Homo-oligomer: A and B are copies of this chain.
Amino acid sequence: MKINVYTVGGYNEVGKNMTVVELSEDAFIFDCGLYLPPVVELENKEHMDEKLLREIDALPNDLFLDKLGLRSKVKAIAVSHAHLDHVGSLPFLAYRYDAPILATPFTAEVLKSLIRDITDEKAKIRARKNKIISIMPNSSYSINAKKIHEVEFIHVTHSTLQTAIIALHTDEGIIMYANDFKLDNTPTLGKKPNYERLKKLAKQGIKALIVESLYAADERKTPSERIAYDLLEDVMLGTSNENSAIVVTTFSSHIARLNSIVKIANKLGRTPILFGRSLKRYTTAAKKINMLPFDAPTLSFKTEIQRGFKKVAKNKTDYVVICTGHQGEQGSILDRLSKGQFKFKLSKDDHVIFSSRTIPSPINIANRQQLEKRLKEAGVRIFTDVHISGHAGREDLRDFIRMLNPEHIIPAHGELQKRTALAELASELGYSLGYNIHLTENGKLVMIN
């Protein structure tokens, strides 16, 4: 039997990840994410639908699968984690497949919340078509199709909750999907990666590894999230801020990071308040599955946000404002704060801490520069890059590939140049380009024999 891997999306860009694995009679989808830059630039984000999103190239282009007769062979859609570039296209595309969606509980909750937010009623009904099945990390689900196939979710660390490496067990060996992850041995929330299970699977024999390439060129081990905690503490406890407001912005889905900020706010004797719709989405999802490690007000509706900032304005040194806007996104809380659109105005010597890095697309760079310019004009002090990445570096990837010892490697997530760095690493490890390292593009097929 041969295995066909269709690299649908995320092989020409960072975003809209989607990979389809075709066995003799069944097929499986891994991830179905959005490409965010064109979405960010949309002027009106209220009414997104499949047609519009296809036009702006924000969805993985899965239409070629229809011609190949693959659509009807799909038996399950397995989702690795809750980031939009992995889960965000499901509300618009999943209906095309007569297959359940498998995801860890947190990812499942985030997906449901995305579907709830669809404004068009017809589209919402369509988005609800697929059954969503919650799979606990470190457990499996059996698909009863032409054959019985086990889909296994293995716990791994990343920058959001309940991220999984997915193993599809086939007669030919295991297809492993590891997109995205880091190897954090001292996470601040939850356990370290399930190395035991990964090693056991390696012994059984991994046929092919689909693996993220984002930081494959970065010659280092990505430090633990624990270091991000330390950096935050260093800035928040180690600078003169007795008379300053403190505003921190970070990735909304990064529950562990939010927990660190809340903890340090408490150490400072300040009350943390979260502002922003996206923060609400992710903290609510975490709460539903009883995995929100902190208790802090999270304000999302217009009126509650205004009321929240009114409170902050009265005594700004009593609070730590945690808000959206780390990329300078127009309409985010920090963007509007910097434009003076709330009751609370930032002023001289207030602190704004970016617990993030700027994702280097030109639109982000321009947005951030404008945001920082406004902040500086108000005399605000800026602390940038108080952050540690959630993606494996070259030395982590080296350890990872060695541990798994797969027959074939398919570098994923990123344009060719990024994936080439992973190919070079694999080549250092004895793999061979064109033989068992597969560099490909969106809309292409890799045949594994």
Which residues of A are at the interface with B, using a C-beta cutoff of 8 A? 41, 183, 185-186, 219-221, 223-224, 226-227, 230-231, 234-235, 237-240, 362-363, 365-366, 369-370, 381-385, 395, 398-399, 402-403, 416-417, 420-421, 423-424, 427, 432-434, 438-441, 444, 446
Contact: B227 with A239, CB < 8 Å? no
Top-9 shortest CB links A-B:
A366-B366, A362-B366, A362-B369, A185-B238, A420-B420, A223-B234, A224-B234, A227-B230, A416-B420
Contact: B434 with A438, CB < 8 Å? yes
Q: Which residues of B contact A230 (CB under 8 A)?
A: 223-224, 226-227, 230
User: What are some 6 contacts across the A-B interface (CB < 8 A)?
Assistant: A239-B395, A362-B366, A363-B366, A433-B439, A433-B444, A434-B446
Closest residue of chain B to A11 (Cβ to Cβ) is B433
A45 CB, nearest partner CB in chain B, Å: 17
With contacts A240-B403, A362-B370, A434-B438 known, what are 9 further pairs, Cβ within 8 A? A41-B370, A183-B238, A185-B238, A365-B365, A416-B423, A417-B421, A433-B440, A434-B434, A434-B439
Q: Which of B220, B239, B416, B434 contacts A424 (CB 8 A)?
A: B416
A54 to B237, CA, bound (A): 39
Contact: B395 with A383, CB < 8 Å? yes
Contact: A234 with B239, CB < 8 Å? no
Contact flag A239-B226 (CB < 8 Å), given A365-B365, A383-B395, A434-B444: no
Q: Which residues of B contact A365 (CB under 8 A)?
A: 362, 365-366
Contact: A186 with B224, CB < 8 Å? no
A390 CB, nearest partner CB in chain B, Å: 15
Closest residue of chain B to A226 (Cβ to Cβ) is B230
